Amino acid sequence: MSTESILSKSTKGVTFLMFTQFFTKILSFLLNSMLIRYLSPKIFGITAFLGFLQSTGLFFSREAIRLSTLRIQKSYNQQQQQQQQQGDVEEKTEEILGTEIPEDVKGLNEKSNADDNDDDEYDQNVLQSIINFSYLPILLGLPLSLVLFVWQYTKLNGYFTELPFFGFSIIVLWLSIIIELLSEPFFNIHQYLLNYKIRSQFEGSAVTVSCFVNFLIVYLHETRYNGQDGLELHNQFKEEGIAIFAFACGKFFYSLTLLLLYYRDYMRNFAPMKKTQLKITKIKSVHRTQSFYFQNEILQHFKKVYFQMCFKHLLTEGDKFIINALCTVEEQGIYSLLSNYGSLVTRLLFAPIEEALRLFLTRLLSKKTNANLKLSVEVLINLTKFYLYLTIMIIIFGPINSSYLLRYLIGSKWSSTSVLETIRIYCFYLPFLSLNGIFEAFFQSVANGDQILKHSYMMMCLSGVFLLNCYILIAKMKLSLEGLIYSNIINMILRILYCVVFINDFYKRLFHGKSSIIVNFHNLRVACFLSLLVWVLDWFFLGGYTKNLKELAINFLLALFLLSVMIYSERRVIYGFIRSKTDKIK
């Protein structure tokens, strides 16, 4: 696939992923807003923890394979044979014509071949190799998720294990992992082909089914079976058990819907081509002298990146384990609420960009030419600018307005909690979480095996630092959720610094030490200065935290002013992007 094709598909992919994220998160947001009035903080907390266990089982099983399969290429022998065939054709043509083929004509032939090679992505061996690798998550996930669930089940509070349907809910949740892993062969094929539209449609449909099932079970139980004869008969114990069961059923039907949609698509669009088989199949090389199930270089990359991804997940999501061990059940519910509402913008906007960047860079840098490397750095610089501008907006307006907005979303069961105060601190964590995402996505795409291994050791050390910070701030200093957020911020700062040093060294090597990558961010100075003035105005002249609709409107106007300044500062980049799009349309 050509560089332009990869960039074009990745740009469109961001749009599809952002739309899917917007649809799914808004749907989840509306569902949570309706359910939160039925659920207490402790039930909200345990469902969040069970969701974390499911996502951890899935992540450990499949994430490293998803990254590794993006690097699968046609074998060296196949590429060499194509080049040899092209050379033979040119020599034969020269013999017939009695003259040498001009270089510009050769260039046209090469360009034509490059266009034809866009079809290489449908190469039989490549697709079959992707399917073969996609069965590894299933083999990993079966024992790994089982051990994870049994281990954590024994550590859960006895109150939860005695709830009605709780044991059955755990089994349903575990089955949802296995069913979702069965869809990995289909997912990885579409990921390799950069078919974001298909993925967005299927995931959006699966989330819709999941939310509908979850809400329907809770709603029917509350309106028809629980307390129908009067409030005195309202069984809160059973209500909480049903809520957890509904959550597990929602996850199960999400996985089942996803698998069925992917399977139907495969049978319609891939099975008729008869290029692949839905089983682990031996792949023969071009000369049929060797055969293999897994490309050795991809398998080696998987081994190196697997433990790094595990450490990354534990550092990014390990706060769920910490909060389960050091915080009360109610505090777990509060933190879950913060994660759902506080990071809504992050998950709607940043997560799709981070994922599209990782896929784009991995495909682009499968051939690490100088032009591709420079393009990757240019994309990273522009994205970092966008993130830094958005970081300024979050830090200035997030802590001031978040409590006022959240107050209208939560019910009376949450009125006695500290959630309104804690979300102000959580706002400072979001920018670090977002910046770390794109920096590590870049690192994983350009780093070699030794650098990835070194990064894994660093992540191991940071795990110890994170645990130590949590112990000091939560257990000793009794800072509770605030201590957990501070620990996460420290962890993210250290990870960002490591990636910044790596990226700056990479930039200097690429551009022969001419300058530092920091020179690309001089336009931020004006925005930073004006942002400081707005922050002073907000805190010392407008009264600080928003208390009414008038103050919220003033903050909205100030945010629009800052946004206008930022757009003006980057007008050349924006004009260039718009011009490139209009040129393509023409």
Q: Please report, in tens digits, the pLDDT of each residue of the chain (586 residues total).
A: 555 555 555 555 555 555 665 666 666 666 766 666 666 777 777 888 888 889 999 999 999 898 888 888 765 444 444 444 445 544 544 454 444 444 444 444 444 444 444 444 557 788 888 999 999 999 999 999 999 999 888 888 787 888 889 999 999 999 999 999 999 999 999 888 878 788 888 888 898 899 889 888 888 887 776 655 444 445 677 878 888 999 999 999 999 999 999 999 999 988 887 778 888 888 876 555 678 888 888 888 888 888 878 877 777 777 777 777 777 777 877 887 777 776 666 666 777 777 777 777 777 776 777 787 778 888 888 888 888 998 899 999 999 998 888 877 765 556 556 778 888 899 999 889 888 888 888 888 788 778 888 888 888 888 889 889 998 998 889 888 899 899 999 999 999 999 999 988 887 887 776 656 665 677 788 888 899 999 999 888 887 888 888 999 999 999 999 999 988 888 887 887 777 666 655 5
Q: Indicate the DSSP class of residue 164.
A: T
The H or E element that residue 283 is part of is strand 283-284
Tokens of 294: 């897994």
Distance set, CA 252 to CA 210, 217, 257, 301 (Å): 8, 13, 9, 32
User: Going by C-beta distance under 8 Å and a sequence separation of 6 or more, which residues neighbour residue 309?
Assistant: 59, 60, 63, 64, 67
Tokens of 89: 């054709």
Q: Is-contact 310 67, C-beta < 8 A? A: no
Q: Cα separation of 160 and 70, whole Å?
A: 41
